[in-house]
Structure 1
Amino acid sequence: MTLFVIGRPAAAFLLLTLAVAGRATPLMTFDAWVSHGAHTLALAHPVWRSIMAAVTVTGSFAVITPLAVAGCAFLLATGRRWPAVFAALALTVTPLVRLVVLALVARPRPVDQLAPAANYSYPSGHSSASATAALVLIMVGWPLLRTRRSRIVLAVAAGSWAVTVGVSRVALVVHWPSDVVGAWLFSVTMVLSIAALVRRLAGAAPVHPSLPTRNRSRRWP
């Protein structure tokens, strides 16, 4: 079941990556069309552009990293070691692997950018970072919340933020639409894979005799 769940976004990411690397004409045409529309919209509506510029900052590593460190410290301080391990791995390994994909695909960015951006384009760094952070927050926070309503609020809020950050990258013409979609698929694949690995490690780890019985079967999540 785990392989099936991880395999779908992984396969979709692979297919999209091959299309981007191969400069598939339909994809390139669609990306150019959306990018041109985003550029026109942003120039015609300065308020929209300002909002997108503000949103996109929240998906930067400068914002996410200190929050991630604080979150991991909180998990460790409250005795949630394995969720802390998962969060640390997901938020560290995912961006590192993304850099490898970035270099291999070596896709140029749009030429008419409306915000500062450097390096190659695929997959989007801000989109990947925010999607990874959102998924980690949902997966770690879900079992900590007591009510169904609070869990739904968490999932909707975190997911909406990640999607909005991705939209902002296209709106500011610093990424092609497929860069953002690729980043989302990549992040889902990486986070689910790391979660599966940590669950296996947690299940194989020896249980300390002093650990209460009720917690022995719930070291993760």
Structure 2
Amino acid sequence: MVVLRRWTTSLPALSALVSAGLWHATRTDERRDVATEVLGLFLGLGVAVYAIGILPGDVLVRQYLLQSDGGAVRTFARWANYGGRVHVLLPAAIVLFWLSSVARRNWRVWCAVLIGSSLIQHAFKFLVGRSRPSGSSLGFPSGHTTAAATFAIVLVYIASREQLSRAQRVILDALGVSLMLAVGWARIMRHAHWPSDVLGGFLLGIGCAAAAAWWASSHAEAAAESQRVGDPEAPRQMMPTTSQS
């Protein structure tokens, strides 16, 4: 039961990581540290899955969640599953670029991370080589969850850089985190992934999005510093003068 409690609380803990304000950090080195630590956790989890296979708690958590696999739950899981598909995330990204000047300013970065995280998860599926609960196709990490987590954290970061009210930021944060968690839950409920596949997707998506946020922030600060130094209207530092008697 201790293992079960740890696994069932690990996914909400990721949402707490976001809502605690870690993604609203003002220093680029903080975002770099987040990206490094989360991607390190992903690599560690991948090594464990490769070495062990089905991890302790995978079966217990899956059985615990599937106990509530009724008609209404199954219907909701089917709809939530769409949140990790390109048919939903691509239009959502287009709307985000249309509405947000911050998103448009670094649209190449966000497109690169949304596509790149998908390519990385495909590569890790072959490297780790663990099958899904049903069927023989490879499952670690979950592609749907990786895509949803990447988009969710990009949304949270962009919202933190826009001139929005606190209530608007909270709504967007909750929307992004809810999307991420709902997709991960749906992948388990639809017998598509082990819980550790979903956890791996969360870590990979969050880590990739944090790395993109770090890159965007560092380049924005460098550009601002360059503009400040090269601005002829900037106040000049007066050199001290000495009077000669």
Alpha-carbon distance in structure 1 between the residues aligned to 2:34 and 2:62: 32
Structure with larger Rg: 2
Matched residue of 1:41: which SS?
Answer: coil
> What does residue 23 of structure 1 align with?
52
The amino acid of 1:181's aligned partner reads: L
Q: Which runs of 5+ in 1 are unaligned?
A: 113-117, 214-221
Once the two structures are TM-superposed, the CA of residue 155 in structure 1 deviates from its matched residue by 0.6
Change (3 A) 1:17 1:139: same
1:11 to 40, 47, 72: 40
> What does residue 157 of structure 1 align with?
175
> Does residue 69 in structure 1 map to residue 94 in structure 2?
yes
Once the two structures are TM-superposed, the CA of residue 34 in structure 1 deviates from its matched residue by 2.2
The amino acid of 1:106's aligned partner reads: G
156-165 vs 78-87, which moves further? 78-87
Identity between Structure 1 and Structure 2 (%): 25
Q: Which runs of 4+ in 1 moved over 6 A?
A: none
Counterpart contact for 1:134–1:159, Cα < 8 Å: yes
- Listed as ranges, the matches of 1:47-126 within 5 Å are 47-75=72-100, 78=101, 81-111=104-134, 119-126=137-144
Counterpart contact for 1:72–1:87, Cα < 8 Å: no
The number of residues matched between the two structures is 199
Counterpart contact for 2:42–2:204, Cα < 8 Å: yes
Post-superposition CA distance 1:38-94 (Å, at most 9, x none): 44432xx1211111111111221121123213433554xx58643323321221211
The amino acid of 2:150's aligned partner reads: T
Once the two structures are TM-superposed, the CA of residue 203 in structure 1 deviates from its matched residue by 4.2
The amino acid of 1:137's aligned partner reads: L
Once the two structures are TM-superposed, the CA of residue 12 in structure 1 deviates from its matched residue by 1.5
Q: Which runs of 5+ in 2 are unaligned?
A: 1-28, 234-245
Alpha-carbon distance in structure 2 between the residues aligned to 1:144 and 1:167: 30
- Give the TM-score of the pair, scaled to structure 2: 0.72
Counterpart contact for 2:38–2:204, Cα < 8 Å: yes
Change (3 A) 1:60 1:81: closer
- Give the TM-score of the pair, scaled to structure 1: 0.79
Counterpart contact for 1:55–1:164, Cα < 8 Å: yes
